[in-house]
Chain A
Amino acid sequence: MGILVSKDSRILIQGITGRDGSFHARLMKEYGTNIVAGITPGKGGMKIDGIPVFNTVFEAVEKTGPNVSVIFVPARFATSAIFEAADARIELIAVITEGIPVRDMISVLRFIEAKGSRLIGPNCPGVITPGECKVGILPSKVFRRGRVGVVSRSGTLTYEIVSHITAAGFGQSTALGIGGDPVIGTRFVDVLELFRNDQDTEAVVLIGEIGGSDEEMVAHYIRETDYPLPVFSFIAGRTAPKGKRMGHAGAIISGGSGTASEKIKALKEVGVEVARLPSDIGKFLKEEFNEK
């Protein structure tokens, strides 16, 4: 089970013939993900690792019936790729591409809202329901099937923390990165809502970072909805200098807002345990579930 993707998901890869797209198509397939088609305009008719390539998403939809698309298309062309996926009524679109102009994302998200699709990212690692389906670039090896839901604004930091969860003897129901840009599709609160309704998820690990106010919105949501699952968190950027953009466009502390300490305070106030080191997350889970 888990959320967003499962063994029943039918995956389309946009940008499948590029260096990253073709490499990760193979890794996804090796993981057992059901990849039904790839897209690269002008390369229709080709096959990549046995996956048929089409010129347009509409053609792929008609012939292979995908419901999830993962986008590896370079930034300058990615906007058009996302529009096309949403236009063809792909239900879930995960955008790995980084560097997409914010104005384009604002238009894309408006379009997606009208079409009823869901977008994850951009600038994200994708989503995995371990043992069933991997969509994106997450390294398979660190994930185990289990009952901890993981949601993160980061990519590699997600792998880091998941490796501690797995080493502590816990698996993941679903793990995903929502992306490090200021304007993104699916947000922390949306994912928490999905985990709430997922029978396989018994705890949530939330990996935040400086910048924006999504962590504060999580705190508000937990309080307002009396969130039933235990939530554990790690916030990156405690020692980051002010006014500097730390790689992620979203990770910037400006004025007095968006600091790690404000986020940690807001989360602690609603009963979320916040780790000082990534390895603490494993310890928190052991304490929580050994007590029961």
Chain B
Amino acid sequence: MKIHEYQAKQIFGKTSILVPKERIATTPEEASEIAKVIGLPIVIKAQVHVGGRGRAGGVKIARTEEEVLKFASQILGMDIKGLTVKKILIGEAIDIEKELYIGVITDRSSNRPVIMVSSEGGVDIEEVANKSPEKIHRLTIDPAYGLLTHQAMNLAFYLSDEIKEVRKIASTLQKLYLAYLDSDASLVEINPYVRSKDGNFYAIDAKIILDDNALFRHPDYEEMRDLTSEEKIEQEAKEKGLSYISMDGNIGCVVNGAGLAMTTMDVIKHFSGEPANFLDVGGSSDPEKVKNALYFLLLDEGVKSIWVNIFGGITRCDDIALGLVEAVKELGIDLPLVVRLIGTNEEEGRRILSESELDIHSVGDMEEGAKTAINLSKGKE
């Protein structure tokens, strides 16, 4: 789950990593009130789940009260890469002397956290990695011991020569690692991490991506969720145990397993059809999930035919068949239905379908299924 900059800073705040004085506003008037408390000049920043806000005009410095109102009204409601700005962060303007980068990420290739620091802060770190990789220093953290003080110091020496500063940075690095652990993040990042003219170090921007699997341990993060309308449907599906992603095509897909669901889309495209969605009913067996899956498919008016592609393993074909029969009855589906059931309890599944006397196009394999669903979506038998 992605969270906003101001929410990430709330998490950092708990570890006593220094952040500028800041508050969130949803109207220009609120922004103006906050600016009075903090004192001008102030920085106004759009809170959206994409990078490149600055370049899109979503970050501005206001030096007068008029500018606060003007920039706040400009940024609120602005569209940044397809996302509408609903909240702005109003913060004190820090006198920046030096911009650094610090971050912790889960490294898939070593199965461990990796901490990264760079003297090139304030720019896209992936760009730094491409252009001047020697400016990024990494350390793989042994999860049994955490980030040891000398390791943090060694990294900090890449960012400063002054021992006082090095100790400050090292301490922040250790706090950052603890924030990564405590919040169950897959990424925590401060970019830029800034030294101000008064000699302090601040987290000017902050980014945290949380591990969805661990959200059950953090019920307080639930209120940080901010979803677009499209994401809301995906989230609703997720709460019902389904992975659902809407696409532009007209063939609704119900599949078990993410790999098979992706392949189902690939095969439809291979035969020049267009999938309406990715949908994985997940790794446990429950007739209710099929009903829910069809419910979400039917929300999409573009769907012209439905293809149920099930290869039973932990999912049992009889559970799928039961769910299908109930769904067709309860939801009144009148779209053509192509079904392929194979694997665990397939005979039982097929028996349930044939006894139900539903109008179903039964297919034996994926390629036949794709072709049939494509033809039916065009109104051909």
A residues whose Cβ falls under 8 Å from a Cβ of B: 19-20, 24, 27, 75-76, 96, 98-107, 109-110, 114, 123, 125, 137-139, 141-142, 152-160, 163, 180, 182-184, 207, 209-210, 212-214, 217, 234, 236-241, 244-251, 255, 276-279
8 Å CB contact of A156 from B213, B257, B278: B257
Query: Which of chain B's residues have a CB closer than 8 A to the CB of A19?
Result: 284-285
- B263 to A247, Cβ gap below 8 A? no
- Is B247 within 8 A of A24, CB to CB? no
- The 10 listed contacts between A and B (C-beta, < 8 Å) are A27-B344, A101-B211, A103-B184, A104-B214, A105-B111, A156-B259, A236-B262, A246-B278, A247-B262, A251-B262
CB distance from A26 to the nearest CB of B (A): 12
Contact B259 A157 (CB under 8 A): yes
Pairwise interchain contact A251-B314, C-beta atoms closer than 8 A: no
Closest Cβ–Cβ distance, residue B107 to chain A (whole Å): 9
The answer for the CA separation of A277 and B285 in the assembled complex, in Å, is 27
**Chain B residues with Cβ under 8 A from A236's Cβ?**
259-260, 262-263, 266
* B315 / chain A contacts, CB cutoff of 8 Å: 156
**CA of A138 to CA of B270 in the docked complex: distance in angstroms?**
27
Contact of A209 among B181, B259, B365 (CB under 8 A): B259
Compute how far the CA of A245 lies from the CA of B181 in the bound complex, rounded to whole angstroms.
Answer: 22
Asked whether A102 lies within 8 Å of B186 as measured between CB atoms, the reply is: yes
B258's partner among A20, A160, A248 (CB-CB below 8 A) is A248
Chain A residues near B265 (CB, 8 Å)? Answer: 239-240
Q: Note all chain B residues with C-beta closer than 8 A to A180.
A: 258-259
Once the chains bind, are A24 and B314 in contact (CB under 8 Å)? yes
CA distance A103 to B285 in the complex (A): 27
Alpha-carbon distance between A184 and B311 when the two chains are bound, in angstroms: 24
Query: Binding site of A, secondary structure by majority: helix, strand, loop or mixed?
Result: loop
* Contact yes or no, A157 B260, CB < 8 A: yes
Contact A154 B257, CB 8 Å, known A110-B142, A239-B266, A277-B367: yes
B39 interface contact, C-beta 8 A: no
Q: Which of A102, A214, A234 meets B214, CB within 8 Å?
A: A102
B116 on interface, CB distance cutoff 8 Å: no
Chain A residue numbers with a CB within 8 Å of B243 are: 245-247
Q: A-B pairs with the 5 shortest C-beta distances?
A: A154-B259, A247-B258, A156-B257, A157-B259, A101-B214
Chain A minimum-CB-distance residue to B217: A101
Question: Nearest Cβ in chain B — how far from A140, in angstroms?
Answer: 9
- The residues in B between 168 and 226 inclusive whose CB is less than 8 angstroms from any CB of A are 181, 184, 186, 211-214, 216-217
Whether B313 lies near A155 (C-beta < 8 A) is yes
Decide if B108 touches A160 in the complex (CB within 8 Å): no
Indicate if the CB atoms of B313 and A156 lie closer than 8 Å.
Answer: yes
Known A-B contacts A102-B214, A182-B108, A277-B270; the reply to A159 vs B262 at CB < 8 A is no
> With the chains together, A240 CA to B212 CA distance in Å?
20
Cα distance, A239 to B344, chains bound together (Å): 28
B residues near A183, Cβ cutoff 8 Å: 106, 108, 111
Asked if A100 and B213 sit within 8 Å, CB to CB, the answer is yes
How far apart are the CA atoms of A251 and B111 in the complex, in Å? 16
Interface class of chain B by DSSP: mixed
In the complex, how many angstroms separate the beta carbon of B348 from the nearest chain A beta carbon?
13
B136 in the interface, Cβ–Cβ < 8 Å?
no
Beta-carbon contact of B343 and A155 below 8 Å: no
| Shortest beta-carbon distance from B194 to chain A in Å | 25
Report Cα–Cα, A167/B314, bound state, in Å. 22
Flag if A20 contacts B314 (CB, 8 Å): yes
For A277, what are the chain B residues with a Cβ–Cβ distance below 8 Å? 267, 270, 366-367
Distance of B314 from chain A, by nearest CB (Å): 4
Candidates B213, B261, B285, B311; contact of A75 at CB < 8 Å = B213
B302 contacts the other chain (CB 8 A): no
Given the known interface contacts A75-B213, A159-B311, the answer about A152 and B186 at a Cβ–Cβ threshold of 8 Å is no
Which residue of A76, A213, A246, A278 contacts B261 across the interface (Cβ within 8 Å)? Answer: A246
**A102-B211 CB under 8 A given contacts A139-B313, A139-B344, A240-B278:** yes
Starting from the known contacts A102-B106, A207-B259, A238-B266, 11 additional A-B residue pairs (CB-CB under 8 Å) come to A101-B217, A123-B283, A154-B259, A157-B260, A157-B311, A209-B258, A236-B259, A246-B245, A247-B243, A251-B259, A251-B262
In the assembled complex, the CB of B255 is this many whole angstroms from the nearest CB of chain A, namely: 8
Contact in complex: B263, A255 (CB < 8 Å): no
For residue A153, which residues in chain B have a CB less than 8 angstroms away from its CB? 259
Of B212, B266, B343, the contact of A237 (CB 8 Å cutoff): B266
Distance in angstroms between the alpha carbons of A159 and B317 in the assembled complex: 14
On whether the beta carbons of A156 and B262 are closer than 8 Å, the reply is: no
Known: A155-B259, A240-B262. A163 touches B342 (CB 8 A): yes
* Complex CA–CA separation, A96 to B278 (angstroms): 23
Report the separation of the CA atoms of residues A66 and B80 in the bound assembly, to the nearest whole angstrom: 57
